[in-house]
């Protein structure tokens, strides 16, 4: 498995254990460095070795997880209920992040959308709540807020503390799960649990807000991916894939996002040798019975680049094109497609060309995250449930 660091050098994964050196320095699980196509063997990539590389003008090698949390200061937590076949995913920022939103689906469900507009006063957010449950799932953000408030996090207005947590939902009410929850839906409590368990490592597939997600042809799910720009800015994406369309081509194993795949992260099947008319025909969840709000892909892209709120909005807009690279069709009347963008503002970039490249990489990364969500999903255990991609193609 190959990854490229900020300086364009590639690191080949040898899957070493991340044991500790006797002097306490952690090893990074990479053993060979590729420079200009030539593999340079490294006996140990310890802190001392990295220091020597830095002195030799070779950039420091990083260990990436291919997750949204490759952005420093970002954590993700899930809470779900298999009986309910629904759940919540919380994105928590260690420090307030500049936030924005771009909505293109015809049936969205969002919270704090007006606050995220560039002309609105509040610049930063403390977290993002993604939830199943359709409009009832908007309660999830209240649970994330409650946990953040307990930590003393939020916008301060004299003695008041108000955690700023935008949110978006997807429709999973008809997936076979038991939605007879009584007077109040469970999403506020699920949101609290998701925030309380947020960490740097998190699962993909049928978890959190992706627990009950579906597409036209296969079980949907939650996916994530990360990448770097040529100048070293990092970007990560997380997507809950509940699309009216299909993430795969025709009836085969190929993902629409195949051109952007890295290291076989969603099966390495590539594209079909040729496209038939049937492959390009519409495969729609619910067909003529579909209604607005039943289908939504909701996502977040996060970067460590320094962005203004208006620039974060532009990043969300460019990143949204990643959905068109991974879902066919997309932005339909019955979709609620929404992308949040957030910037932790640790690395300066050029405000024009740097932002353009960042958006390009973010779009590709979002496309990869969408494919990974379907690739990692597992089928729901209910009669008539959609199969998972792996059930059919291994």
Q: pLDDT (tens digit, 9 = 90+) per residue, 105-157?
A: 888 999 999 999 999 999 999 999 999 999 999 999 999 999 999 999 999 99
pTM (two decimals)? 0.84
Q: Where in the chain is the domain with CATH 3.60.70.12?
A: 68-393
Q: pLDDT category, 46, cuts 50, 70, 90? A: low
pLDDT score for 9 = 40
Q: pLDDT category, 62, cuts 50, 70, 90? A: low
Among 108-122, 211-225, 229-243, 324-338, which is the least confidently predicted range? 324-338
Q: How much of the chain, in percent, has pLDDT values that exceed 90?
A: 77
- Mean pLDDT (the chain) is 86
185-205 residues labelled b (16+ CB within 10 A) or e (exposed): bbbbbbbbbbbbbbeeebebb
Cα–Cα distance, 45 to 55 (Å, whole number): 14
Q: pLDDT category, 279, cuts 50, 70, 90? A: very high
pLDDT at 391 over 50: yes
For the chain, the straight-line distance linking the first and the last C-alpha, in angstroms and rounded, comes to: 20
What are the angstrom distances between the C-alpha of 143 and each of 2, 69, 90, 289?
39, 21, 10, 33
Cα–Cα distance, 19 to 25 (Å, whole number): 9
Q: Does domain 68-393 have CATH number 3.60.70.12?
A: yes
Q: How much of the chain, in percent, has pLDDT values that exceed 70?
A: 82
- Whether 373 contacts 239, CB under 8 Å: yes
The residues facing 161 across adjacent strands are 156
């Amino acid at each position: 498995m190959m990854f490229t660091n900020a300086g364009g050098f590639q690191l080949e994964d040898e899957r070493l254990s991340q044991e500790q050196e006797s002097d306490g320095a952690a090893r990074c699980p990479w053993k060979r460095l590729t420079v200009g196509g030539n593999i340079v063997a490294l006996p140990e990539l310890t802190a001392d070795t990295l220091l020597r590389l830095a002195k030799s003008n070779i950039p420091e090698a990083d260990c990436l997880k291919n997750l949204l949390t490759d952005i420093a200061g970002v954590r993700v937590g899930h809470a779900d209920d298999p009986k309910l076949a629904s759940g919540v995913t919380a994105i928590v920022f260690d420090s307030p992040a500049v936030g924005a939103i771009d909505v293109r689906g015809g049936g969205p469900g969002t919270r704090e959308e007006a606050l995220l507009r560039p002309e609105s006063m509040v610049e930063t957010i403390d977290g993002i709540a993604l939830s199943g449950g359709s409009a009832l799932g908007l309660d999830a953000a209240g649970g994330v807020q409650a946990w953040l408030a307990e930590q003393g996090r939020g916008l301060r207005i004299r003695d008041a503390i108000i955690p700023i947590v935008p949110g978006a939902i997807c429709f999973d009410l008809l997936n076979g799960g038991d939605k007879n929850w009584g007077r109040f839906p469970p999403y506020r409590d699920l949101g609290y649990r998701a925030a309380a368990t947020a960490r740097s490592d998190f699962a993909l597939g049928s978890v959190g807000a992706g627990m009950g997600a579906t597409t036209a042809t296969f079980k949907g799910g939650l996916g994530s991916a990360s990448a770097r720009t040529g100048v070293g800015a990092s970007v990560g994406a997380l997507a809950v894939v509940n699309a009216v369309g299909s993430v795969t081509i025709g009836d085969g194993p190929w993902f629409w996002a195949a051109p952007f795949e890295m290291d076989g992260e969603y099966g390495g099947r590539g594209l079909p040798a040729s496209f038939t008319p049937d492959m390009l025909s519409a495969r729609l969840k619910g067909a003529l019975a579909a209604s607005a709000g039943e289908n939504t892909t909701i996502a977040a892209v996060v970067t460590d680049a320094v962005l203004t709120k208006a620039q974060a909005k532009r990043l969300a807009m460019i990143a949204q094109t990643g959905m068109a690279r991974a879902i066919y069709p997309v932005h339909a009347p019955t979709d609620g497609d929404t992308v949040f963008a957030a910037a932790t503002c640790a690395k300066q970039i050029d405000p024009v060309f740097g932002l353009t490249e960042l958006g390009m990489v973010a779009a590709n990364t979002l496309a990869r995250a969408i494919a990974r969500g379907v690739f990692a999903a597992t089928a729901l255990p209910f009669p008539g449930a959609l199969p998972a991609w792996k059930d059919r193609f291994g």
